[in-house]
Structures are given as structure tokens and as C-alpha cells.
Structure 1
Amino acid sequence: MLFALVQVTWAASGATVPWSPHVAYAPTVQLLLAALAVLAAAACLATTRTLARPGRVTMAAALILTVPVFVMGMASLPAYFVTLASFSGVDSVTGLAHDLLSAVGAALLIVVAISYRRRLRGRCPRCGQDHSGGFDGPLAHPVPSLASKRTRVTVYLLMCGLLPWAGVKTIWTLGGEAIGVTAHGWREMNAGESELARALASVGIDVTVLAAMAAIFLLLGLLYPWGQAFPRWTLILSGRRVPRLLPLLPAWLSSVGLSVYGVFLLIYAPLSATGVVPKLKPSGAFTTSSGITWMVAFGGLAFAGLGFGLIAAARSYSARTLPICAGAATRVPAH
């Protein structure tokens, strides 16, 4: 309901809410989003009641319709994270607020849908297991564990998608030339960046590559036991259980935008190179059409690799750290 109120306020006041760097939400679209949010709220309230089959079907359809809308609405969160982390400011306060509200809405709707599905199957709505008694008692948390070998190999392979993109950026910051872009041209194109970004570039570190390294750190935490219990180098936190949502929230929130954007770039680059869509024109530091096309492809590999890697790692972490109600006699995997 808060999301709906904000959308109506923006539509009535004519506020600019960017959907992409060059496209803003139209007032009619904002009103449609508000209506969908009200529909989602009604579906959430309906889950607290005992419904006949037509009611359950209607509620499920409402959730299936609204969840993807909220998920797509938070697709730009990784871009805002990079600008904030580099102290470059926020391109649009309303855009950031829209993405954050969409992220909260998506998370809450998914939690409601999972809980209701468990109740329909006769399982505990909190832990998803079969057990007697209520679901308001203490939780039992599993011991730290390592992700399966298949998951680790999958994530490592997806992480390799970063290498071409990070490689050319590192070459430019170190003073070299790659895919038709010189170090001087790259510095001129990024002259408007923050002092921190320029200081990092002077020692060969691109701020976006640094952000990717933070994502890799998150990936490793999702795969290994030290992401479930604070390691010794965390000093006073050493040995304590890591709150489950601490790594999962940034992983899920950033993975969607990275995956969607990466797949789009991977599709667009070859289509542009073959002339199916208009060829990319050189701009900024790029002097050739082929150079900028290669960079788009490298970006697609990097973003899609990180996005899908985070999805795979977060899915494994979520399953390995799932707590169960302490009163559950046995842990029966949910269907």
C-alpha cells in the first residue's frame, strides 16, 4: 500500500522516475503500478483466510502477475550500488526510491507466497517441515557446510565471465590500449567521476572492477562455511552465526538486475555486429564500431556471469542454512 501511495503521488505531482537512463515512467504506468500494488496487498490479505478453490486460484494468479512486476522494478539496483560505492552521487533519488520499494515489495510477496504454499500442503508455514505443535517456538539452525561440488564448479565457471571485461578496464587504468581505446581516452571519458574513483584509477584499479570484487567476495561467502559463521579474522564476531539475510539480501537483490542486463547485452552485441539491429556507433573513448561492440559483449559476459553465479550460490546457501522449528522431530524436505 505504501508503494501504491508513492506511485500515485509521483503521478499526480509529475515527478520524473527513470525506468532507464533515457526513459522515464509515464503517469499512466505509475497508476497501473499502483493498481497492481493494491491487487498484491489484497492477495496477501487473502492468504490469511480459508479460501475455496476459485479463491485460491484467483489469489495465485494475482501473485503470479505482480511478483515479476516488482522484481523487474528493482533491476537497476546494482547500478545505483556502484555509483554510491564510488561516491559519484545518485543519478535519481526517485529512481533509487522506486527500486528500493520494488525490492521490498518483491521480497515480501515471495515470502507470503512461500508461506501460503506450505500451509496449503499441510506443512509448517515458517520452516516448511512436518511437525506437531505451533510455529512460534525457537528455531534450530544447521551447522556450517560447504556448497556441493556441482554448485561450486558452476559458480567458478560463471565468474570467469568477468575476465575479459575486467581485463580491458585494468589495461586502460594501467596506461595500455585495448579494443581501440587508449588509456588517455578512457581517462577523458571518465573525467567527471569522483575523487575516490580517480584516485583508484591512478593506481590501476577501476571502481567498477572493485565492485565486482566485492560481488566475488559475496559469492565465496555463499559457497563456504565462513559465510555461515564469522571467521577468526572478524575478531569479536568470530564464531557467531552469520544472520541468514545478511548475505542473501544483497545476493538476491543484485542478481536479478545483473542477470537481466547481462542477457540483454549478450543478445544485443551479436545482433548489432551482424546488422540485424543498427550497428553500435563509436562514442566517448571508443574509436571503432567493433571496439564498442566487443565491450558490450564483455559487459554481458561479466554481468550475466555475476548475476547467475549469485543466483546459484544464493540458492545453495538458502537451502543449506534453512532453519527448522526446534520442535520438529524429523526434517522432511519440502516438495
Structure 2
Amino acid sequence: MAVPGTTRTREGVPGLDRAPGVAVMCAAVYALVETAWAVTGTTVPFTARTAYPPAVQLVLAGLAVAAGLACRATRRPLARAGRAAVRGVLVPATPVLATGAVSLPAHFVTLAAGSGPDSVTGLTHVLLSAALTGALAPVALAHRRRSAGRCLRCGREHTGGRDVPLVRPGATTAPRRTRRVAYLLMCGMVPWAGVKTVWTLGGDALGITAEKWKESNSGGSDAAKALAEAGIDVTVLAAGLGFLLLTGLMYPWGQVFPRRTPFLSGRRVPRLLPLIPAWLTAFGLSVYGVVLVAYAPLAALGVLPAPALDTDLGATRSGTLWLVAFGGTAFGGLGFALLVAARSYAARTRPACATAVASAEAQPSAVPWGRAG
């Protein structure tokens, strides 16, 4: 059931005015911690077998300082050269700093399984990178809107200031094309989830027996062991939660709490509640998936070195490469599906100033403001 839009007279984009200050604080903390680690020689894992060199940590700290200064500059009106300078810092700095948060989904699964962090410094670095990236994004958004002469609240061109009411669109379903693309991408989960399920149910796959696979996971938490005994792999369960988030982004129940939700029935879901985990998870999964999908065929052809074989599992070279490819299609598929769904959700739930809505409704040929996909 579609829920009608609502009108509010208070500012509907709280935080954009405060975003530069938050970003400066996050950048300062990030730079101080990275510099301290580099000076003291603290090991910060980059992968399972490599660590960040101190020189790289200092470069990241310097980049965070530059991004913080750029965010601080957005607090006042800038000339054309100033706007270009801010854009020249934030555009490359944001994705570079965001790469530190790529492994956030993996850390989440590990912690959710009750196994504890593999590395405290590694987890801290990931969280700092995610926080800084999340703080830079609204600053970049506000700067882009301000530079284009658009309304800071709704991002549209219209007359009137912030004193006009803010209209929120009603709950809608994502366009059919968006849903088809998202579900097609989710099909990449099938081979990987199927192999994991075969192992948990006692079968053999990719040259690895169920007994060997269970032995290799014997050091996991009690919760993970209990799930495995029930035929459920913890990573497959985490992927299921990702699919739940995906469907919530595409259907009305992700915008308005369902009728049977205790205490929240019929209330509007805070817009950022599903978007923040979707964006953070999608970025890491999509990057990781692309890397694995590209690596598997190149390693099979001998262009890149083959992955180390787990002799305890009795894994073969071909079986390992197939597992890498399956993991790439699974992680990448879920990541890109979340990106597609989150983009649609953000467009469909974006509020608009009342004057912008009135202008859009006065143009019959225009796309309805609350149904952009």
C-alpha cells in the first residue's frame, strides 16, 4: 500500500551545515592515529599477509589533512578558483581514503560470528576510514549543490529559501528495471552459496570434503559451529541479511515500518537508516568482487601467481581458483546489487522543497519528483 508524502516546515536535510565541522574532526583523528602508527612502527594489516608501509600511512595522513582543510574551506563563499581547488582535493581523496574500508563487510561477518577481530589495529583502521569517508560524502554533496547554484536542502533549482516547507515523497516500489538488474546481479550468489551449503550438509565440492572443511573451521565461535551443524554457513547467513537489506531498498516496507512492527507501525523509516549500511557494505563488496573475478582467470592463465593451496583441506589448484571465482561473483553481485538498489532508494525518498514540487507538477512532461529511479 502506497503511503502518501508528508510536508514538514523544518529543515529536512539536517547535518549538511554541520558536515564540514564533523569532517574536519574525523580527518584530524584519522591523521593523528595514522601518523602515530607510522612513527611507532605499529603493524596495520593491509591483507592477510601484508601490512601498510609507514610511508603509505604518512601519505594517507597527509591526504586526510588536505581533505579536512578543503572541508573547512567550504564553510565560507568561495571564488571559482577556490571551488575548483576544493573539488580537486575531495574528488581524489574520498575514493582513496574509502579503500581503507573495503574489508568492512569481512570484519562485520567475523564479529557477528563471535570470533573476535583478527587484528585490532586493522579493525580500527577500517572503522576510521569508513567514518572519514562517510563524513566527506555530505560535504562533497553540499559543495556540489552550492557550486551549481542549487538548493542545499533538496538539490533542485527553485525559488524561495529554506523557510519553505519540505515535502517527502510517499513510499514507492523501485522501477521494474532496477529490480530486474538487482535480482540478476544477485544470481552471482548461487554458485558460492551452493558450494558452502554442500559442505555444511556433509557433501564434497571442488575437491574438498565436508570433513576437511569442518576441521578447518573448528576454531570458530560456538555460534558459527552451531550454525554449521544446522547446515548454515555463517557467511551465507550474512549474505542473506544483505539480501534482506536489498529488498528493503526496493519495496515500500523499507520506507515505512510494516504494520506488525512493535511501536513503529506505520512510521517512516529514517532515510539514512538503510542507506548508510548499504553504501558501506556495497563499496567493499563490489571492489573485492571485481578483484577476485579479474584475478581468477588471470591466475588460471599463468599471468598472475596462483593462490596458495590449503594443504590441510586437500585443495587443488583448479578447485581453489573456482572458489575464488565463485566468491568474486557472489561478493561483487551483492555489492553492485546494493549500489543499484541504494541509488534508486535515495532518489525515490529524496525530499524536495515545496516550491520545487509545485514547479515540477506544473510541467506535465517532467518526471514526477518523488519517483526518480
TM-score grouping bracket, smaller chain normalisation: over 0.9
Residue of structure 2 in register with 1:36 after alignment: 63
Higher mean C-alpha displacement, 220-229 vs 111-120:
111-120
Residue of structure 2 in register with 1:314 after alignment: 342
Task: Give the direction of change, closer, same or farther, for the CA distance of 1:153–1:326 in structure 2 (3 Å limit).
Answer: same
1:36 and 1:136 mapped to 2: Cα distance? 37
Residue 269 of structure 2 aligns to a residue whose secondary structure is coil
Q: Does 1:175 align with 2:195?
A: no
Q: How does 1:261-272 map to 2 (within 5 A)?
A: 261-272=288-299
Tell me the alpha carbon deviations over residues 16-46 of structure 1, each in whole angstroms, 9 at most, x when there is no partner.
Answer: 2111111111222111111111100111112
2:165 and 2:234 mapped to 1: Cα distance? 43
User: Is residue 169–residue 351 contact of structure 2 (8 Å, CA) maintained in 1?
Assistant: yes
**What is the aligned counterpart of 1:259 among 268, 282, 286?**
286
Q: Which amino acid aligns with 2:224?
A: A
1:264 and 1:278 mapped to 2: Cα distance? 14
1:56 and 1:120 mapped to 2: Cα distance? 7
Identity %: 58
Q: Does 1:289 align with 2:323?
A: no
Tell me the alpha carbon deviations over residues 223-271 of structure 1, each in whole angstroms, 9 at most, x when there is no partner.
Answer: 1000000112322211111111111111100111111111111111111
Tell me the alpha carbon deviations over residues 283-334 of structure 1, each in whole angstroms, 9 at most, x when there is no partner.
Answer: 1424311111110010001000001001000000000011123564536569
User: Is residue 167–residue 351 contact of structure 2 (8 Å, CA) maintained in 1?
Assistant: yes
Unaligned 5+ residue runs, structure 2?
1-27, 361-368
2:38 and 2:145 mapped to 1: Cα distance? 38
User: Is residue 83–residue 147 contact of structure 2 (8 Å, CA) maintained in 1?
Assistant: no
TM-score, normalised relative to structure 1: 0.95
Residue of structure 2 in register with 1:74 after alignment: 101
Q: Which amino acid aligns with 1:66?
A: A
Unaligned 5+ residue runs, structure 1?
none
1:322 and 1:257 mapped to 2: Cα distance? 24
1:234 and 1:266 mapped to 2: Cα distance? 40
1:65 and 1:7 mapped to 2: Cα distance? 19
Residue 4 of structure 1 deviates from its aligned partner by 1.1
Residue of structure 2 in register with 1:231 after alignment: 258
2:85 and 2:156 mapped to 1: Cα distance? 26
Residue of structure 1 in register with 2:246 after alignment: 219
User: Is residue 264–residue 300 contact of structure 1 (8 Å, CA) maintained in 2?
Assistant: yes
1:41 and 1:302 mapped to 2: Cα distance? 36
Residue 274 of structure 1 deviates from its aligned partner by 1.8
TM-score, normalised relative to structure 2: 0.86
1:307 and 1:197 mapped to 2: Cα distance? 23
Q: Does 1:127 align with 2:145?
A: no
Residue of structure 2 in register with 1:242 after alignment: 269
User: Is residue 281–residue 288 contact of structure 1 (8 Å, CA) maintained in 2?
Assistant: no
Q: Which amino acid aligns with 1:299?
A: G
**What is the aligned counterpart of 2:222 among 180, 195, 202?**
195
